[in-house]
Amino acid sequence: MSSTAIREPGTSLSTDELLNVSDLSVEFSTRRESVQAVNGVSFSLQKGEVLCIIGESGSGKSVTMRSLMRLLPESRTHIGGNITLDGQDVLAMRNRQLTAMRGSKVSMIFQEPMTALDPVYSIGDQIAEGVMRHLGKTRKEATARALELLELVRVPSPERRLRAYPHELSGGLRQRAMIAVALSCAPKLLLADEPTTALDATVQIQVLILLKKLQEEMGMGIIFVTHDLGVAAQIADKVAVMYAGRLVEYGLARDILLNPRHPYTIGMLNSTVRGQDRSVDIEAIPGNPPDLRNLPPGCAFAPRCGFALEQCSAAQPEPAARPDAGYARCIRLDETAKVAERHPIKA
Amino acid sequence: MTTEIGPVAARRADAVTPAYKPKGYWHTVAERLSDDKATIVFLTIIILAILSAVFAPIIAPHDPYATSMIARLKPIGTESYLLGTDELGRDMLSRLLYGGRMSLAMGILPVLFAVGIGGLLGVLAGFAGGVTNTLIMRTMDVFYAFPSVLLAVAISGTMGGGAASGLLALTLVFIPSLCRIAETATTQIRSLDFVEAARATGASSLSIISRHIIGNVLPPVFIYASSLVSVSILLAAGLSFLGLGVEPPTPDWGQMLSNLRQAIYIQPLVCALPGIAIFIVSLSFNLVSDGLRHAMDVKS
């Protein structure tokens, strides 16, 4: 839907820009050690655009999302860089501005619908809570709005579900209820942290289609965190691939998924089932993700990478332009391009 | 989709309101309780005990303080003394009714105070964590180190006995355990996703505590507290038995038991009456607490 070109972040602030993140770094520190969970991450999001952040567990996807809303525990976290949301500097916000922003301008859907809803309040109460807080509605108006929202997220017999408690609903309905909570104040940006991972395969698709549809109707931007490339292909306009706290490849979804250039993205796509012949073995990426407390000085993927040269481990590779609008943090893009040509990715 | 409540939604609101009677958590609990016959029976006993204590001045056939030298230690069923008389010739039934006031108050009030104070301290400790948690919880551990009976006797004894010091002693005895339960529950709940989800919808710490934390901490605290009422009745009876409770001649079950024990070979049944009263009421509280625990576990 969007034909926005990928720009290097921070270049120009177009009026359609919803979110600009530049050089974001997140460090968790305890008395004994510190962990660099996110390192030099930059991306931007236009109004109504869907960005998918893809990566393994522990690659910093969720931390990036939480830092956008400043949900991480303040005392043990240090966030560096810049986050500009709708023209406002998020990192400079005071508590009151933060609570005003959370839920109204940005809201979040969580992975586990079982635990992300409060068990002692009814679904209607929980949706109404944010409506009353941010839009200053009375309980009656907020309840009417909650009903409207349950209809919007296609919950069957919404009048009855309004009074239901989370444990009385199935996983898919709970996730829909959570989406209703997140959408209650018509946010401009929706952060979705693996919202379909905990659901059954059939329900996953339904929720995904619903999200896409709502996104088009409401024109909001979505940042969608997932490790499922199929999900990314379904919903994303742009894709950012994360590895060990850095964006290793960034570009339009079509470009990245059909023509991956970073060895990690290539490896990830090769290890995905996409209707290959049964006799074809699925290639796994060898090795394990690195320890974030102890990152190598160079490219964090180098120890697992088939293309790695000596200088890969020497210094962090700078983003290199892809043939299209995106970039990949790799010094051997020419080599990877040859491989990608020999084994074209089937759509 | 519109952010404003449009005319359609407004109409919906009217259409919905009559049907929207939230069947709240407590409503469900009440429904489940009413299915539990044994709990209903014991709950009725408790209600009767409370009513008879409240309306003691109306029900009591005699003045509980009126002594009679000629009618001392009459057996149960004596003319005009339905449950006999004590060692000073006072009507046992009237004294038991009046005594129930003190015993029930000493059973319920310390627990209520302790729920308020201990519960809040526990939620605070659990939510704040760090130094605040250590400070509060280690202080509680100091109190926890003493056996509860010893602690109650020590506090009440130091303060010179009497109802007020008994109340204070029992409250202090119950605060640590309630605080610990509230702290454990809060620590568990604090790290659950819905707290973060609430934060993500813009809830402030205060509204997270008052709405999401307390709402979830209350059931386990309440269940535990209800089991403490019977303990409190027993402890209060123990204090007055030792002469640390209410001052005579104010009737109190524990104190009556203590005074009548010299007459145990003369009128054993009459002597046992206050003990029976303590037994029945504390047993009822215990069983109702069990029933409540069962009913409040709505998820099962």
10-residue stretch averages of pLDDT, chain A, 347 residues long: 46 71 91 88 91 89 92 89 92 91 91 86 90 89 91 89 88 90 91 86 86 89 88 89 92 89 88 74 82 85 86 86 86 80 56
Chain B interface, mutation test: which of A30, A134, A148, most B Cβ atoms within 10 Å? Answer: A148
Distance, in Å, from the CA atom of B275 to the CA atom of B280, rounded to the nearest integer, reads 9
Helix (H) or strand (E) holding B205: helix B205-207
In chain B, what residues touch A141 (CB-CB under 8 Å)?
A: 5, 9, 13
From first to last of its 300 residues, chain B has per-residue pLDDT tens of: 444 444 444 444 444 444 444 456 677 788 888 888 889 999 999 999 999 999 988 888 888 887 777 877 777 877 787 888 888 878 888 999 998 998 899 999 999 999 999 999 999 999 988 899 999 999 999 988 888 889 899 988 898 878 889 999 999 999 999 999 999 999 999 888 899 899 888 888 888 998 899 988 988 898 899 889 989 998 988 888 888 878 878 888 988 888 888 888 888 888 889 999 999 999 999 999 888 888 877 555
CB pairs under 8 A between A and B: 115
Nearest CA in chain A to B216: A120
Strands (E), chain B: none
Dihedral sign computed on CA atoms, order A325, A330, A335, A338: negative
Set out the domains of chain B in order of their start, with CATH numbers: 44-296 (1.10.3720.10)
Nearest CA in chain A to B212: A118
Does any CB of chain A come closer than 8 Å to the CB of residue B132? no
Question: Between A124, A130, A143, which is nearest B201 by CB?
Answer: A130
Give the CA-trace dihedral at B232, B236, B238, B241, to 10 degrees: -160
Please tell me the distance in Å from B285's CA to the nearest CA on chain A. 25
Does any CB of chain A come closer than 8 Å to the CB of residue B29? no
Give the CA-trace dihedral at A118, A119, A123, A125, to 10 degrees: -60
Q: What is the reported pLDDT for A167?
A: 85
Query: Does B9 contact A130 at a Cβ distance shorter than 8 Å?
Result: no
Query: Does A101 contact B202 at a Cβ distance shorter than 8 Å?
Result: yes
Integer CA distances (angstroms), B74 to A146, B10, B275, in order? 70, 74, 18
Chain A interface, mutation test: which of B14, B31, B193, B221, most A Cβ atoms within 10 Å? Answer: B193
Distance, in Å, from the CA atom of B208 to the CA atom of B15, rounded to the nearest integer, reads 31
Structural tokens at position A34: 């510190």
Query: Does B201 contact A115 at a Cβ distance shorter than 8 Å?
Result: no
Q: How many Cβ atoms sit within 10 Å of the Cβ of residue A211?
A: 25
Query: Does A120 contact B216 at a Cβ distance shorter than 8 Å?
Result: yes
In chain A, what residues touch B16 (CB-CB under 8 Å)?
A: 143-144, 147, 159, 162
In chain A, what residues touch B193 (CB-CB under 8 Å)?
A: 110, 112, 115-116
Does any CB of chain B come closer than 8 Å to the CB of residue A171? no
Instruction: Of B261, B213, B203, give the one whose Cα is nearest residue B237.
Output: B261
Q: Residues B97, B84: contact at Cβ < 8 Å?
A: no
Instruction: Of A312, A313, A306, give the one whose Cα is nearest residue A330.
Output: A312
Single-letter code of the amino acid located at A106: V
Q: What is the reported pLDDT for B227?
A: 87
Structural tokens at position B259: 């005074």
Distance, in Å, from the CA atom of B189 to the CA atom of B183, rounded to the nearest integer, reads 10
Q: What is the reported pLDDT for A342?
A: 60
Instruction: Of A84, A94, A101, A70, give the one whose Cα is nearest residue A23.
Output: A84
Read off the DSSP letter of residue B247.
P
Query: Does B202 contact A137 at a Cβ distance shorter than 8 Å?
Result: no
Helix (H) or strand (E) holding B22: none
Query: Does A143 contact B16 at a Cβ distance shorter than 8 Å?
Result: yes
Query: Does B216 contact A104 at a Cβ distance shorter than 8 Å?
Result: no
Distance, in Å, from the CA atom of A187 to the CA atom of A49, rounded to the nearest integer, reads 13
In chain A, what residues touch B197 (CB-CB under 8 Å)?
A: 108, 110, 116-117, 178, 181
Please tell me the distance in Å from A315's CA to the nearest CA on chain B. 38
Single-letter code of the amino acid located at A294: N
What are the structural domain ranges in chain A? 17-105+187-342, 114-184
Integer CA distances (angstroms), B219 to A117, A119, A235, B140, in order? 17, 12, 42, 21
Cross-strand pairs, A52: A224, A239
Chain A segment 126-155 residues within 8 A of B by beta carbon are 129-130, 133-135, 137, 140-141, 143-145, 147-148, 152
Single-letter code of the amino acid located at B4: E
Instruction: With H, G, I as helix, E, B as strand and everything else as coil, classify residue B148.
Output: helix
Residue with tokens 């040269």: A309
Residue with tokens 């893809």: A54
DSSP string, B44-91: HHHHHHHHHHHTHHHH-SS-TT---STTTTPPTTBTTBTT-B-TTS-B
Question: Between B196, B201, B204, which is nearest A107 by CB?
Answer: B201
Nearest CA in chain A to B26: A120
In chain A, what residues touch B3 (CB-CB under 8 Å)?
A: 135, 185-186
Does any CB of chain A come closer than 8 Å to the CB of residue B26? no
Distance, in Å, from the CA atom of A273 to the CA atom of A278, rounded to the nearest integer, reads 10
Chain A interface, mutation test: which of B201, B204, B223, B300, most A Cβ atoms within 10 Å? Answer: B201
Burial class (CB in 10 A: 0-12, 13-18, 19+), B140: buried
Burial class (CB in 10 A: 0-12, 13-18, 19+), A121: buried
Question: Between A95, A129, A141, which is nearest B201 by CB?
Answer: A129
Distance, in Å, from the CA atom of B121 to the CA atom of B137, rounded to the nearest integer, reads 9
Q: Residues A274, A257: contact at Cβ < 8 Å?
A: no
Q: Residues B214, B195: contact at Cβ < 8 Å?
A: no
Single-letter code of the amino acid located at A44: S
Nearest CA in chain A to B1: A218
Distance, in Å, from the CA atom of A91 to the CA atom of A94, rounded to the nearest integer, reads 9
Does any CB of chain B come closer than 8 Å to the CB of residue A3? no
Integer CA distances (angstroms), A293 to A76, A101, A245, in order? 15, 32, 11
**pTM for the model:** 0.78
Q: What is the reported pLDDT for A23?
A: 92
Q: Residues A50, A224: contact at Cβ < 8 Å?
A: yes
Distance, in Å, from the CA atom of B162 to the CA atom of B154, rounded to the nearest integer, reads 13
Residue with tokens 């009375």: A138
If DSSP states are collapsed to H, E and C, what string results for chain A? CCCCCCCCCCCCCCCCEEEEEEEEEEEEECCCCEEEEEEEEEEEEECCCEEEEECCCCCCHHHHHHHHHCCCCHHHEEEEEEEEECCEEHHHCCHHHHHHHECCCEEEECCCCCCCCCCCCCHHHHHHHHHHHHHCCCHHHHHHHHHHHHHHCCCCCHHHHHCCCHHHCCHHHHHHHHHHHHHCCCCCEEEEECCCCCCCHHHHHHHHHHHHHHHHHHCCEEEEEECCHHHHHHHCCEEEEEECCEEEEEEEHHHHHHCCCCHHHHHHHHCCCCCCCCCCCCCCCCCCCCCCCCCCCCCCCHHHCCCCCHHHHCCCCCCEECCCCCEECCCCHHHHHHHHHHCCCCC
Distance, in Å, from the CA atom of B187 to the CA atom of B276, rounded to the nearest integer, reads 41
Q: Say which CATH architecture domain A17-105+187-342 belongs to.
A: 3-Layer(aba) Sandwich (3.40)
